[in-house]
A and B are shown apart, each in its own frame.
Chain A
Amino acid sequence: GAGVSQSPSNKVTEKGKDVELRCDPISGHTALYWYRQSLGQGLEFLIYFQGNSAPDKSGLPSDRFSAERTGGSVSTLTIQRTQQEDSAVYLCASSLVAAGAAYEQYFGPGTRLTVT
């Protein structure tokens, strides 16, 4: 398919475990974004990549959260020592360009994370 894909679609984990979420952006898209949507909340910005570098990590909630992007393509979001408040839908989006131009971001279906 040509869209943004994310895996897994659902993840249930025990408090204290580490989890890794994956995002495959649309081929050729240089910008990649991670968002989080908690119950009843809007889309909370986490981190943004332009190529493999992350100019803006300001949304990461704590140092338990990290993300990387390799080859200008796939990105992984890692949450260490998960807490119950980390339960949310984690959405990835990609776009052709970032600042100053097209803001149209294409979203994946999300990963629903439940921490028990």
Chain B
Amino acid sequence: DQQVKQNSPSLSVQEGRISILNCDYTNSMFDYFLWYKKYPAEGPTFLISISSIKDKNEDGRFTVFLNKSAKHLSLHIVPSQPGDSAVYFCAAGGNRDDKIIFGKGTRLHILP
């Protein structure tokens, strides 16, 4: 039973436009959410996070939105750049637990 779901295996976006990656979760005990980015043959790198007390966190071109009632979060990248082409993993954890649960990832292609 997947607790963190990324339903889109891949997404293609024109350079300069907005990329929106979506993530759903089922465990209401999750209170901390993260996005990681992964290039081929490299380990994932931390991108941005949000705690459940917020509904938005922004860092440069990256913004994460959290909708607790819908158990949904999304990552917005604007404007999208070629270097953003990668696999993006959504992850969630609880402050009373030691591990975070990852989704299966969404492969983002930025088209020239």
Chain A residues within CB distance 8 Å of chain B: 4, 31, 33, 35, 40-45, 48, 50, 55-56, 59, 91, 93, 98-100, 103-110
Contacts and interface: CB of A to CB of B under 8 A. Distances in A.
Given A42-B105, A103-B49, A103-B93, A50 B98 contact: yes
Chain B interface size, as a band, is: 20 to 34
Given A56-B98, A103-B34, A108 B104 contact: no
B32 A103 contact: yes
A105 B98 contact: no
Contacts, number: 61
Interface stretch (B11-19, B39-47, B57-65, B70-78): B39-47
A106 B46 contact: yes
A107 B34 CA distance: 14
A110 B49 contact: no
B43 A100 contact: no
A81 to B, nearest CB: 26
B64 to A, nearest CB: 14
Given A91-B43, A103-B49, A107-B44, A45 B101 contact: yes
A68 B52 CA distance: 34
Contacts of B6: 42
A104 B36 CA distance: 10
Contacts of A41: 104
A50 B105 CA distance: 27
Closest 10 pairs (CB-CB, A-B)? A107-B43, A43-B102, A42-B104, A42-B102, A99-B98, A104-B46, A98-B98, A100-B95, A107-B44, A45-B99
Nearest to B94: A99
Contacts of A50: 98
11 contacts: A42-B89, A42-B105, A44-B102, A45-B99, A56-B98, A98-B98, A100-B96, A103-B34, A103-B100, A104-B46, A110-B42
Given A43-B102, A55-B98, A107-B43, 19 more contacts: A4-B43, A42-B102, A43-B44, A43-B89, A45-B100, A45-B102, A50-B98, A93-B43, A99-B96, A100-B95, A104-B34, A104-B49, A107-B36, A108-B43, A109-B41, A109-B43, A110-B41, A110-B42, A110-B43
